[in-house]
Structure 1
Amino acid sequence: MKVLIAGTGFAGQGHADAFRAAGADVVGIVGRTPHVVQDVAAKMGILFAGCDWQEALDACKPDIVSIATPGGAHYAPIKQAIAFGCHVFCDKPMTDDSATAIELNALAQAKGIKTAYAASFRYAPSVLHAKRLVAAGAIGEPTEVECISHFNLEREIPFGWSHRKKDGGGRLNNNFTHTLSIVASVVGEKILNIIGEVRDDLGRAPIVEGVHNFATRRDFIPKDLNDPALKWGISDVEWSYTVMAQLESPLAEKPVSVLFKHGGLVPRFHDDHIVFYGTKGAIYVKGHYGSGQLSHYGDDKTWRDLPLPADIAAAVPDVAGETEQCWHTLARLFVRDIRGEATEPYPTFAEGSQYQQIIDLIRKNDNWTDVSGLA
């Protein structure tokens, strides 16, 4: 099964490793800059390297394309790949707005191709453990969930795609997509209601040449931010958000209430965490994407750390990095499904399109009720 990769940075190289581990053949990689894509292809042993996506499709004739570029660069290559008849694995966000996400989902369904949407931290081992426990009744009926994270990102990180809406930037696209997917995987996939607000508390960021790999962008923070020659780019996306949702759960009579609270630029005091509450207990998972220690509060009214079940531990891909492990799991499921093997459901463009519509609704910031005139 042949795979063509779009993107040469952290995600592109991570996707390539994931598909190779799943038993596929990575036959080509495409990037914006000739010398960069040539260097990455040589380093990874990928035979085809180029900067023209249509040319790569024609030359490589892939069964699968893997889209690992920023979200604003997803629409055109995905549309071309669908027309070519390729199955599509796409990192989050699906696109930079709901209209294009809806269109691509419809095109994929009409073409009969398979799609995967990599809001993939739902495959973190402790999240899988939490899902098993909740399904087994460890907290009774789920009632509410809270997802709290504070990243304290450096305000001086060089201006790039993460600062621009048209490029798929913003914390909703790049944080909320994961936490929403995590919660849905544990308590129920049907999202009933949503309300939220966003805030851009960054404003601007320094423009620096030479930044290519998202994972190394901190290395380019300017030494002197007061340099009069330094140029600045203006952010037009959110760096903090507060979202409330209601999800239908097959495990509960009433909708489950969910709070998503994220501050991209503020420091944390206590650990980032995800907590699932129920009528008979609770499950706490450390970490903003639930990849840390899991603790259970049960009948004895005590929090107890639980070990990861042996079968879940054994299935964790043998690669460094939580992000990479989750990519490997999703790529493995995707390849098995394409081959016609039995596999569990995984996120597709249906979820990607839905999440993009939800993000657009939240970004309208029109949920406020003016109470300033109340007695």
Structure 2
Amino acid sequence: MTKPRLKIGLIGTGFMGKTHVFGFASAPRVFELPYDLELHTVADITQEAAASAARTLGFANSTANWRDIIANPDIDVVDITAPNALHKEMALAAIAAGKHVYCEKPLAPLASDAREMTNAAEAKGIRTQVGFNYLCNPMLGLAREMIAAGELGEIRGYRGLHCEDYMADANANYTFRHDPVGGGAIADIGSHALATAEYLCGPITRVMGDCVTVISDRPDGRGGRKVVTVDDVGRAFLRFESGATGSIEGNWIATGRKMQHDFEVYGTKGALAFSQEQFNVLHYFDTADATGRQGFRRIEAGPDHKPYGLFCVAPGHQLGFNDLKAIEVAGYVNAIAGKAPEPFNFRKGLRIQTLVETIQNSAREEKWMDVRS
């Protein structure tokens, strides 16, 4: 039986643009999807770059003007992986045209912009997705199940990190991420730590932030230097609705760290520990173990941890980063078809941006702040 086709228009072909394409390519080969996915048109900043991306990534068409994707009646989904400051204009145009929108995080640099985008999408009945694919890891799903089932008892504490070193070189050029509308480390990667914290432990109600600019200026690419005002390191103490307390850190100058998206959860009956640097493993401590036999046990990802088994029938052979994006794409495509809720829609993306801004405001005012919905 022939499936309907879902035609994709991609804006941006950098790191995340390619990752999204890998997700679109893999998802139909792993999951039974309600649509056949068609890579219709790709947009980049020049016609040459767009044409090259189309050849490399498998798109049928290319353009140097992203508005061509919006205006094309054949395209069903607009996928935005352009710089953060452009997300709002592109998403609102796509929503106005009645297209579903898949947007890489952060949804928008400002919570007010994210709210405008969210309200517009909900008013039009548009299906949306924000790219938080770390949450698609079966090991995070297992951790959430264990916490919800009470296997850790009452949750007392949480620690989360997202640390990398891609901005550690003080002589690396100023980029769009250093622009004040980019938000800094707490917005760029601390947002992942916040999303994971709420995914596992529920709503955060109060924060105390500390945002630090360590490298105060960077080369501007034209022989001069440009002042940096955003944070290189952002941290926050957290209070959860459940009564648990915790902390998170977003740090893009963490020398030697390539992907330290880590968490630890402490409960009255047990604990969990996880590192994205070995993200097919979850460590579990059980207080019921006999004295002299206690310690963190290693739980290896395998077919029992859905949907791992759709990728590989053997435990321990490991999923990869792009596999998480394929899981995210599959969830979103099912949501477009009305077969499942949106995995991480604009409303959830707005929530993360609200947390980020509350932490930033708390850091400026040097006081605890309540998190508004």
Which TM-score band applies after superposition, normalised by the shorter structure?
Answer: 0.7 to 0.9
Aligned counterparts, 1:88-107, within 5 A: 88-107=101-120
Given that 2:172 and 2:218 are in contact with CA atoms closer than 8 Å, whether structure 1 keeps it comes out as yes
Q: Does the CA contact (< 8 Å) of 2:193 and 2:249 recur in 1?
A: no
| 2:230 paired residue number | 237
- How big is the shift at 1:80? 0.4
| Cα 1:22–1:293 shift into 2, 3 Å | closer
Q: Which residue of 2 aligns with 1:211?
A: none
**Structure-2 residue corresponding to 1:262:** 250
Question: Is 1:4–1:64's contact at 8 Å kept on the other side of the alignment?
Answer: yes
SS at match of 2:159: strand
Structure-to-structure mapping, 1:135-174, within 5 angstroms = 135-153=148-166, 154-155=168-169, 156-166=171-181, 168-174=182-188
Q: Which of the residues 137, 143, 150 maps onto 1:124?
A: 137
Contact kept? 2:190, 2:251, Cα under 8 Å: no
- Structure-1 residue corresponding to 2:31: none
**CA distances 1:288-307 after superposition (whole Å, capped 9, x unpaired):** 7x725321111223221122
Asked if 1:35 is matched to 2:35, the reply is no
CA deviations on 1:31-73 (whole Å, 9 max, x unpaired) are 1122111111111221221122222222353111111112111
CA distance in 2, matches of 1:54, 1:277: 49
Aligned equivalents of 2:303, 2:320: Cα separation in 1: 18
* Matching residue of 2:366: 368
Equivalent position SS for 2:207: strand
**Structure 2 spans left out of the alignment, 5+ residues:** 1-5, 29-36, 368-373
Q: Deviations over 1:206-254 (max 9, x none)?
A: 234xxxxxxxxxxxxxxxxxxxx83323222111011122233xxxxx4
1:346 is aligned to 343
**Separation in 2 of the partners of 1:33 and 1:320?**
38
RMSD: 2.5
User: What secondary structure sits across from 1:311 in the alignment?
Assistant: coil
User: How far does the alpha carbon of each residue in 1:100-147 deviate from its partner, in whole angstroms, 9 at most, with x for none?
Assistant: 111010101111111111122111232122122222322112221101
Q: 1:177 to 1:317 in 2, by over 3 A?
A: farther
SS at match of 1:327: helix
Work out whether residues 237 and 247 of structure 2, in 8 Å CA contact, stay in contact via their aligned partners in 1: yes
**Equivalent in the alignment of 1:11:** 16
CA contact (8 A) 2:239 2:245 kept: yes
The answer to whether structure 1 residue 2 and structure 2 residue 7 are counterparts is yes
Q: Distance in 1 between matches of 2:101 and 2:312?
A: 22
- Relative distance call for 1:241 and 1:294 in structure 2 (3 A) is same
Q: Supply the distance in 1 between the matched residues of 2:155 and 2:195 (Cα, whole angstroms).
A: 16
Alignment counterpart, residue 70 of structure 1, candidates 65, 79, 83: 83
Aligned position for 1:221:
none
Aligned residue in 2 for 1:273: 262
Q: Secondary structure at the match of 1:366?
A: helix
Partner of 1:291: 279
Q: 2:353 aligns with which of 349, 352, 356?
A: 356
Q: Normalising to structure 2: TM-score of the pair?
A: 0.83
The 2-side partners of 1:345 and 1:52 are apart by 29
Instruction: Kindly state the Cα deviation for residue 96 of structure 1 after the two structures are TM-superposed.
Output: 1.2
Q: Secondary structure at the match of 2:189?
A: helix
Query: Is 1:246 aligned to 2:230, yes or no?
Result: no
Counterpart AA for 1:48: N
AA of the residue aligned to 1:114: R
Of 55, 62, 69, the residue aligned with 2:68 is: 55
| Displacement of 1:16 | 2.0
Residue 218 of structure 1 corresponds to none
| C-alpha displacement of 1:179 | 1.5
Q: TM-score, normalised by structure 1?
A: 0.83
Structure 1, residues 150-208: CA drift from partner, whole Å, max 9, x if none? Answer: 43343233221121122x251122212211111222222x3322221211111122234
Query: CA separation in 2, counterparts of 1:272 and 1:96?
Result: 22
Residue among 72, 77, 82 paired with 2:95: 82
Q: Tell me, in whole angstroms, the C-alpha distance in 2 between the residues paired with 1:97 and 1:317.
A: 40
2:244 counterpart letter in structure 1: V
| 3-state secondary structure, aligned to 1:346 | coil
CA contact 1:317–1:325 (8 Å) conserved in 2: no
Unmatched 5+ stretches in structure 1? 209-228, 249-253, 370-375
Larger deviation: 328-337 or 16-25? 16-25
Change (3 A) 1:344 1:100: closer
- Is the CA contact 1:317–1:329 (under 8 Å) kept in the aligned structure 2? no
Aligned-partner SS, 2:49: helix
